Structure 1
């Protein structure tokens, strides 16, 4: 993968930080706290580990970063997550995370900086949406899931076809 990759030209200090974090930590996490709902996504997992990038909605910046970093650590040690996976060993207290493929049609709205990062290399990077459960351990696609949790997590695979 890295032999096909051409690093983007940084134009600002923020761009340099992204490149440094991808090199030094395996990924950079972009938080979008002003969005409704808030979301965060990774940049660098595909380059460094051949794993889809990640996007998570409805979590504050600290929680989103913690979840993405937990997954990054697993990916760095060789674990792979794919569309439809449910993981029950990442979070505490029996909470699970789901993984759904993000359709390319959602990329411009949610993954702009990742598009910039991969653009020069013309790499069509994959991305997985990380989906979390409500307090009753229900996912947003389940009928009895909390309305607030459903509103905080647009299911991109269903919304954009």
Structure 2
């Protein structure tokens, strides 16, 4: 979990307040030099309370990931569901195809675990500029920038 000057309980209370006010919180995880943590990523905390898996996004600039996760959170609040093994085309201004896969290793979702215990989560997978995904030949996104944290989907598209 991120270090916080007031300690774990104060951090949990701050997250609880944001979830109560907005419906979810976005936790940013910074990868440090020599860290065994995945590349930097961001994830939601609070979608569990809406009956939806938490969502995470690797490899994008953290502010971009934060905005995208907020868009997804708004969609979930409105009733849209993004289960594992699905895809969506209406979440970005340019209608990029985005995939969602089940996250099988959730050990670093410390804030979500602190709040809810074991949680379900899906990873948002985004394409490179040529609209190729990490599993496509020629994808320009390095595998260590957007590691796949679950099984590859045979997706259905959510319109």
How many residues align? The count is: 141
Question: Which residue number corresponds to residue 43 of structure 1?
Answer: 45
Of 115, 132, 136, the residue aligned with 1:138 is 132
- CA-based RMSD: 1.8
Aligned with residue 26 of structure 1, among 23, 27, 46: 23
Structure 1 unaligned spans of 5+: 1-9
Residue of structure 2 aligned with 1:118, choices 116, 119, 122: 116
CA–CA distance in 1 between the matches of 2:119 and 2:80? 18
Q: Which has the higher helix share?
A: 1
Closer, same or farther in 2 for the Cα pair 1:147/1:58, shift >3 Å? closer
Q: Give the CA deviation at 1:13.
A: 2.8
Is contact 1:83–1:128 with CA below 8 Å preserved after alignment? Answer: yes
Distance (Å, rounded) in 1 between the aligned partners of 2:78 and 2:110: 27
CA distance in 2 between counterparts of 1:155 and 1:46 reads 22
1-side partners of 2:81 and 2:94: how far apart?
A: 22
Specify the alignment match of 1:69 in structure 2: 70
- Maintained 8 Å contact 2:39/2:146: yes
Q: State TM-score, norm by structure 1.
A: 0.80
Distance in 2 (CA, whole Å) between partners of 1:79 and 1:157 is 22
What secondary structure, in the 3-state scheme, does the structure 1 residue paired with 2:144 have?
A: helix
Q: Matches of 2:71 and 2:57 in 1, distance apart?
A: 13
Does structure 1 conserve the Cα–Cα contact (< 8 Å) formed by 2:101 and 2:151? no
User: Could you tell me which residue of structure 2 aligns to residue 153 of structure 1?
Assistant: 146
Moved over 4 A (4+): none
Gaps of 5+ in 2: 1-6, 33-37, 153-159
Give the aligned partner of residue 13 of structure 1: 10
